[in-house]
Structure 1
Amino acid sequence: MKKVLVYLSVSIILLGLCSSCTNTNGNQEENKVESIDYENAYNQYSESFTELNDIEKMDIDENLTKAVLYYTDSEGYLVPVMRQVPKQEGIAKSVINALINNSENRIDLRETGLKPHLPEGMEFELALKEENLMRISFDDKILTFSNEEEEKTAVQAIVYTLTEFETVDKVQILVDNKIVNTLAKGTEVGEPLTRGNINSLNNLPQGEYVKITLYSYNNTTNNYTYYIPITKNIVKDQKEIQSIVEEQINLNKEMGKPIPEGLELVSIIVEDSTAFMTIKNQIETKDENFERFMKAICLALGQNEEINSVKLVIEDQDVNNMEILTFSVPIFANVYE
């Protein structure tokens, strides 16, 4: 991955969010799925790639449009991924179908280490109502999760994925076209749901606090590093930008992610849309751990809309050896074709 990350101008084209608002899992689709030799596909899969989460590797196809889907990883975290999907009517139905944990979708994601979270064979209907409300009615497969955590994660994946569309602000989940207060394991769905507090640490500091988004990451396939948004509450501070960087470094430590050896933060200031992050000591800047560390820093700083680039200033006793590295703030954490 190059040190200078690039912007992607995202324009999700909504072509009839829920035309023919039923999930079609008919014989034609079943035959198509059964014709794929999934075992062979796995066996032939090569791990020769090194990094696929790179916008420069995405081929832009005019017949496709962008959509953001929320998958889960092996630790149960929700992970947003920007995908290219066919331009078509009923695109909302298409993205929910992509969240169903069937063989075809698992094969599609095999390089990422992520998985779709909804039960195989699930059927649903969609209807876009007034005030940007999307109603989605599932069959009783929505009641088959083994525990509350899995059930809650599935609901969040549905809500986050649908509210990525500009015309959807909230989601009402129904079972067999009926409003229920809770699902089988206790997840509350009686009222329309909105997005917020993704992968929250649920910490409550004393006094006035603000919510920030930090980023962990994983690479379980040696091909794809995915970044995980983590919501944390921190004490409100006049030096909020520096606090974000300090909290990001602390999160790396807590989650066992490498930090450049010898790194010592001196200051961080913002000038003309650029965050200048000054550190002491020379550090290793040529390996993938540094690249991942800096992308997480850039993503965390990117929640401040004023910041669109980061300059890492590495101080040295000899001023002539001072090093400055420039990074653009990525507009999205994860991209996968």
Structure 2
Amino acid sequence: MVMLFTACGSQITDDVLEEIDPPQIDYIEDEDELEVEVMDQDVDDGQISSITDDMDDAEEPMDEEGAEEKGGPVTVDEELHELYLVDRNGMVAPQTMNMLMPEDKLTALVEHLVQEGPVTEQLPNGFQAVLPPETEVLGVKVKNGVATIDLNESFTDYHPSQEMQILQSITWTLTQEEEVDRVKLSINGEELAAMPQNDTPIGEGYTRGHGINLEVNDQADLVSTSPVVVYFLSQTDDQTYYVPVTRRVDQQDDLYEAVINELLEGPSYTSQLLTDFRQEVALIEEPDLDNGTLTLNFNEALLSQLQGTAISENVLNMLVLSLTEQEEIESVSLMVDSESAIMMSNGESLTEPVVRPNQVNVGQF
């Protein structure tokens, strides 16, 4: 399992697309791994390890039997949910929080994305909700996988530079729920064909396929390329969290190898993101998918910790989070020079496939 930390920092940037002078890619020095605790946990069949999060420190669910609304009892449960918030660098990133959830869960999730709303007291330092203050959620209806969110006119009071952040935040927050595949918006019951400020098309609904924290080259051929999501790191002081980024890769390339190549390429020069991969890391065989488990065989450069004998937990997490974005991949199995027994930097042995965590970037409660 993984304990993933939230970050602290300053306020968000207004325009994530603003070009800056390119610095060098920030690589974490060998042996100076970011502090993220990883623990192994076996599932029922005893065959698969997980980088799921340590919940021992979570508070016990609050007793809300006495809560009332409009004179009647309200059923409220405390659950962990990912909210996609904006960090100090203008990146949309998941933060897992413990929230009291009424029966109308989807409405509550959107309400937690409103600035000065119910999420305010729980916001990690450096993070901000995306919807303008005084935005009201008038209702959320789901039909055939499409969630239509009805908002009041205050929703339109956002800065134009934040339009993509808002769309991505709402979409990625709601589509974590099994019944939601895409998101539509309406204002006072009137459905929007495009966003109010920059006219970003919504069409038949916004999906995760539209991407998050988009890095699209002006010369990219959208017809012959496909989007992939890869996860990099962001760090403030001694805290780290994982940030998803969408890039486009050639459709003729092996998809899984393309994802790995994007990870090895590292974060954009214009971002503040980090990587824990050494520059010498390379695959020595093509990825092999068998019954939901993707097997990867790397060279010895993958072992960057404990004097070149262990794998970084951050590298493991970045691989698993990025590759399991592909629906057909359920777990990832690693090999180094065809050896399957790999030591992790916490001293544990990694001998079984690793599955995706239920939540990403779980903070302290």
TM over 0.5: yes
State the match for 2:296 in structure 1: 276
Match of 1:186 in 2: 198
Letter in 2 for 1:279: N
TM alignment of 1:25-44, pairs within 5 A: none
| 1:62-112 per-position Cα deviation (integer Å, ceiling 9, x unaligned) | 64334332111122222133433334212222111211121763431225x
Choose the corresponding residue for 1:217, options 233, 239, 243.
Answer: 233
C-alpha change, 1:212 and 1:190, in structure 2 (3 Å) is: closer
Partner of 2:155: 142
Task: Classify the secondary structure of the residue corresponding to 1:56.
Answer: coil
Unmatched 5+ stretches in structure 2: 1-35, 45-50, 62-76, 344-349
- The number of residues matched between the two structures is 286
| Aligned-residue identity in percent | 16
Which secondary structure state, in structure 2, belongs to the residue aligned with residue 267 of structure 1?
coil
Offset of residue 188 of structure 1: 3.7
Distance 1:139 1:310 in 2: 48
Correspondent of 2:131 among 99, 106, 118: 118
Per the alignment, residue 251 of structure 2 pairs with: 236
Q: What's the TM-score, normalizing by structure 2?
A: 0.65
TM-score (norm 1): 0.70
* Contact 2:115–2:131, Cα closer than 8 Å, also in 1: yes
Is the alpha carbon distance of 1:161 and 1:260 closer, same or farther for their aligned partners in structure 2, counting shifts above 3 Å?
closer
Instruction: Tell me how far apart the structure 2 counterparts of residues 141 and 7 of structure 1 sit (CA, whole Å).
Output: 48
SS of the residue corresponding to residue 135 of structure 2 reads: coil
CA distance 1:235–1:127, shift in 2 (3 Å):
closer
Aligned to 2:274: 257
CA distance in 1, matches of 2:277, 2:145: 45
Contact kept in structure 2, 1:201 and 1:231, CA below 8 Å: yes
Partners of 2:112 and 2:118 within 8 A in 1: no
Shift of 1:218: 0.8
* 2:230 corresponds to 1:227: no
Unaligned ranges ≥5, structure 1:
10-52
The one of 150, 159, 169 aligned to 1:157: 169
Change in Cα spacing, 1:86 to 1:270, as seen in structure 2 (3 Å) is: same
Higher relative contact order (CA closer than 8 Å, sequence separation 6+): 2
Query: Letter of the aligned partner of 1:243 in structure 2?
Result: A
Q: 2:85 matched to which residue of 1?
A: 71
- Greater displacement, 61-70 / 122-131: 61-70
Letter in 2 for 1:162: L
Structure with the largest fraction of helix: 1
Distance 1:188 1:207 in 2: 19
Change (3 A) 1:5 1:232: farther
Give deviations 1:144-175, integer Å, cap 9, x for gaps: 1122x312321332233223322233333122
Superposition CA RMSD, Å: 3.6
Q: Which amino acid aligns with 1:335?
A: V
Q: Give the drift of 1:55.
A: 0.5
Q: Does 1:297 align with 2:295?
A: no
